[in-house]
Amino acid sequence: MPRSIWKGAISFGLVTIPIKLYSATEEKDISFRQVHPTDGGRIKYKRVCEKCGKEIPYAEIAKGYELPDGRLVILTSEDFDDLPLSTTKAVEVVQFVAEEEVDPTYFAKTYFLQADGPGIKPYVLLRDALTKTGKSAVVKVALRSRESLALIRSKDDVLLMHTMLWPDELRDGSFAAPPSEVTVSDAEVTMAQSFIDALSGDFEPEEYHDSYREALEALVQSKAEGVPLEAEPEVQEQAEVVDLVAALRASVEAAKKRREAAAESKAV
């Protein structure tokens, strides 16, 4: 069982729900060390004070905030622990909303909420109430030295909490929009819809895998065994698309063949 990263309570009106917080995700990637290619020695870094030149142990390093006038304010771990902030140990429910109202761009990280001690019954109460109303709870919580908005929702038998970015942390993406004078025809939109229909289906994430990580693992294994890695066939560069309808029609046919092939492989 994983170790909880935070303990606190959800304030649900006058009801208090003691909880433990667990990370719901883990990134799986190949970890590399920085080495000297000549002899394989590891590259190490020292934390050296620029003023006295001494190497400083990590436990003795504090955080400093530079003011506009150049003065430096030093904050210790005790300063952060003593912040006059109610959300450091409490998850404050501020609103209930329909989940689809929240733009997924806001989501940062997902956590499991587990009832702690006497919190089991009120936990079940909140979970079932959210399920039956189809609502999610917008909350404020302080985690990892910062306060965040978050969304608590029920999924199966568990409450999940998605931490969220603040509105001023989302960048304006209007610069990425194509020029307004660029338009497409009804026929092009219809063919695009046909392509979407050809690839539509239920989302089954277990059918997808990280091809890049698999390729890296194969490369590392081949290097370790001294066996050359078999080269992948070169992908031919595609010519510039002039007729969108014709290109989409060909894409639809290719998509149908891929789905038929996938269905046949499942049936075997």
Are the C-beta atoms of 3 and 89 separated by less than 8 Å? no
C-alpha 91/C-alpha 150 separation (Å) is 9
DSSP secondary structure code for residue 202 in this structure: -
> Could you tell me the domains of the chain?
6-26+83-168 (2.40.290.10), 177-228+241-267 (no CATH)
- Lowest mean pLDDT across 63-72, 140-149, 164-173, 228-237: 228-237
Please list, in sequence order, all residues whose beta carbon lies within 8 angstroms of the beta carbon of residue 114, skipping any fewer than 6 positions away: 4, 19, 20, 21, 22
Question: Which ranges of 46-168 would DSSP assign to H, the alpha helix?
Answer: 77-81, 120-133
Give the confidence band of 228 by pLDDT, cuts at 50, 70, 90.
Answer: confident
**Each residue of 102-154: pLDDT tens digit?**
999 999 999 999 999 889 999 999 999 999 999 999 999 888 667 889 999 99
Name the residue type at position 87.
T
CB–CB of 162/151 below 8 Å? Answer: yes
Alpha helices in the chain (DSSP H): 77-81, 120-133, 186-198, 211-225, 244-267
Higher pLDDT, 218 or 162: 162
Rounded CA gap, 252 and 258, in Å? 10
20-36: per-residue pLDDT in tens? Answer: 999 998 888 888 889 99
Q: Is 105 helix (H, G, I), strand (E, B) or coil?
A: helix
pTM here is: 0.72
The answer to whether the CB of 252 falls within 8 A of the CB of 191 is: yes
Whole-number Å distance between alpha carbons of 7 and 90: 9
Cα 72 to Cα 116: distance, rounded to the nearest angstrom: 41
Please provide the average confidence, as pLDDT, over all residues in the chain: 85
The confidence score (pLDDT) of residue 32 equals: 87
Q: Which of 14-18, 49-53, 129-133, 219-223 has the lowest mean pLDDT?
A: 219-223
Residue 123 confidence (pLDDT): 95
With 80 as the cut, is the pLDDT of residue 88 above it?
A: no
Q: How many CB atoms sit inside 10 A of residue 35's CB?
A: 11
Higher pLDDT, 206 or 47: 47
pLDDT at 19: 93
Per-residue model confidence (pLDDT) at position 107 = 94
